[in-house]
Amino acid sequence: MTEKSSLEYAQQLDREDDLKQYRDEFYIQPETIYFDGNSLGLLSKRAEESLLSMLESWKQFGIDGWLKGDNPWFYFSEKLGEKCAPLIGADQKEVIVTGSTTVNLHQILSTFFKPEGKRTKILADELNFPTDIYAIKSQLRVHGLDPEEHLIQVKSRDGQTLDENDIIDAMTDEVAIIVLAGVLYRSGQILDMERLTKAAHERGILIAFDLCHSIGSVPHSLSDWDVDFAFWCTYKHLNGGPGSVAGMYVNKKHFGTSPGLAGWFSSDKNKQFDMEHELSAAPDAGVMQMGTPHLLSAAPLLGSLSMFEEAGIEKIREKSLKMTDYMMTLIDAELNGFGFTMANPRDEEKRGGHIFLEHEEAARICKALKENNVIPDFRTPNGIRLAPVALYNTFEEVWQVVKILKKIMQNEEYKKFENKRDVVA
C-alpha cells in the first residue's frame, strides 16, 4: 500500500497507459482536474473540427449540403448510428442518432407500449433518473391510466443499488414494458442487462434500457442479448457536447412497426421527398426519427466517435476499471476516518465508470474541491460523483484528487461554504 500511495506509482501507471496519447486530443484547462465527464464530457479537437467542417459545408453548399460534401446531411444521422453501433453491440441498421434522451423514450413508449387486457403496467425502479419517470408517467396518462396504479417502481434494498432478483420478481403478467438504466446514475451500478432481458422475454414483456451512463464507458452486446430497445444521450462519455443529439436502438425483430410519433424523417429515404401524405416508413431504426436532424448539435459526434473507433471500447473499459480500482484503493488508505461512505459497487462486473462517495457535508466538499481546481459532480442529497475518464484523465490526477480531498478534510476547508447545492449541481 505504501508503494501504491506514492506519486511515483501513479506516474508509472501513466507511462504504461496504452491510451495516454488521447489526452492531448482534448481541451483541458490548465491546473484543473476534470472529474465530471460522466455528466458532461470535455471538448476534443476532433469534435471541434467536425463541427467547423459542418459549418463550412453550410457556407460552401447552402441547401446542396443535404447531398454534397464529405458528410451529406441527409444521411448524417444514419452515419452516426453506424459509428455508435459497435459501442452497444448492435447491427448498424438497429441504431439511429436522433432526438434527446427524453424524446427517444417518449418515442419508444408511444410506439411499443400498447396496454391491453391485464398488461397495462410499466415497470421501472425508484433509483432511475427523474426524466425517465416523468416520461413514463406522462405516457400512462396519455393512455388514460393512473401512474399511481400502473407504474411499478422496484425498491432498492440499500438506497443505492438494485437487486436483479427483486426486478425479476416484479415482472408480473400485468407488465407490458420495462424501462431500466444500464448503469445507475448515482451509484454507478451496472445492471445485468442480459439476465433481465431473458427474464422479461420469458414472461412476454418488452424491455428497454437507458444507456446514458454506460455508452462509451461499458461494452454492451444488445443484439446478442436480444434487448428490445435502448436510448441514450451523447454528451457524457461520448463527449458530443452540451445538448448533443441523442441515440436510439431498436432490435431488428421490431422493424416494420409504425412509429407512435411520426414525422417526415420517419420516411424511407428514397420516398421522403415524394411529399405524399401517407408515410412510407423507413425499414430500419431510422423510422424512429421525427423532424429534421439538428446537424450542428450532431456534428461534434463525428470527430468524437472516431477516437472510440481507434481505441476500442474494450480498451477504454479496461483502463476505466483500472482507474476506479486505483481510486478506491487510495480512498480506503487516505480517507478512512473522515466520514466518507463508498456507495458504488466494488465488484468490477457491477461497477460503471465513476466513484460515488456519500458524506453529510457533500455539497460543501464539492465546493471546496472546485476551489482547489477539481471539478466533481454533486448529487442530492449527499453524494459526490468522481469520474476518471479513460480518454483524457490520468492516474496521477486520481492520486492528486484523493490527496486534495484529504487536505480539505484535514483542514476543514469545506466549512467556509454553505451545505447546499447550486442551481445546477
pLDDT for the residue numbered 391: 98
pLDDT of 424 over the 80 cut: no
28 in helix, strand or coil?
Answer: coil
SS3 content of the chain, % helix, strand, coil (to 5): 45, 15, 40
**96-139, pLDDT tens digit by residue?**
999 999 999 999 999 999 999 999 999 999 999 999 999 999 99
Per-residue pLDDT, averaged over 160-184, amounts to 98
Percentage of residues of the chain with pLDDT beyond 70: 100
**317-360, pLDDT tens digit by residue?**
999 999 999 999 999 999 999 999 999 999 999 999 999 999 99
Percentage of residues of the chain with pLDDT beyond 90: 97
Confidence of residue 388 (pLDDT cuts 50, 70, 90): very high
Q: Is 264 annotated as a binding residue?
A: yes
Q: Is 143 annotated as a binding residue?
A: no
What is the crossing angle of helices 313-334 and 295-311, to 10°? 80
Please report which residue ranges of 145-205 form alpha helices under DSSP H: 147-150, 164-169, 193-202
Q: Is 414 annotated as a binding residue?
A: no
Confidence of residue 69 (pLDDT cuts 50, 70, 90): very high
The one-letter amino acid at 396: E
Question: Rounded to the nearest 10 degrees, how much is the dihedral formed by the CA atoms of 409, 415, 419, 424?
Answer: -80
Q: Is 132 annotated as a binding residue?
A: yes
Q: Is 210 annotated as a binding residue?
A: yes
d(CA 120, CA 142): 13
Q: Is 213 annotated as a binding residue?
A: yes
**19-32, pLDDT tens digit by residue?**
999 999 999 999 99
Per-residue pLDDT, averaged over 275-301, amounts to 97
Please report which residue ranges of 283-347 form alpha helices under DSSP H: 295-311, 313-334
pLDDT for the residue numbered 420: 81
pLDDT of 422 over the 90 cut: no
Q: Average pLDDT of the chain?
A: 97
Nearest alpha-carbon partner for 76 in 272, 250, 286, 287: 286
- Work out the number of other CB atoms within 10 angstroms of the CB of residue 115: 18
d(CA 390, CA 286): 31
Confidence of residue 423 (pLDDT cuts 50, 70, 90): confident
pLDDT for the residue numbered 371: 98
* 264, containing H or E segment: none
Q: Is 130 annotated as a binding residue?
A: yes
Per-residue pLDDT, averaged over 138-142, amounts to 98
Nearest alpha-carbon partner for 227 in 187, 191, 257: 191
- Ordered by where they begin, the domains of the chain are 7-31+312-416 (3.90.1150.10), 49-310 (3.40.640.10)
Q: Is 101 annotated as a binding residue?
A: yes
d(CA 53, CA 71): 9
d(CA 150, CA 140): 7
**77-99, pLDDT tens digit by residue?**
999 999 999 999 999 999 999 99
The one-letter amino acid at 332: D
Nearest alpha-carbon partner for 320 in 298, 348, 340: 348
Torsional sign, CA 69, 72, 77, 81: negative
pLDDT for the residue numbered 260: 98
pLDDT of 271 over the 80 cut: yes
The answer to whether 245 and 297 have CB atoms below 8 angstroms apart is yes
DSSP state for residue 185 in the 8-state scheme: T
Q: Is 232 annotated as a binding residue?
A: no
* 175, containing H or E segment: strand 175-181
Confidence of residue 1 (pLDDT cuts 50, 70, 90): low
**397-421, pLDDT tens digit by residue?**
999 999 999 999 999 999 999 888 7
The answer to whether 229 and 251 have CB atoms below 8 angstroms apart is yes
Q: Give the chain's length.
A: 425
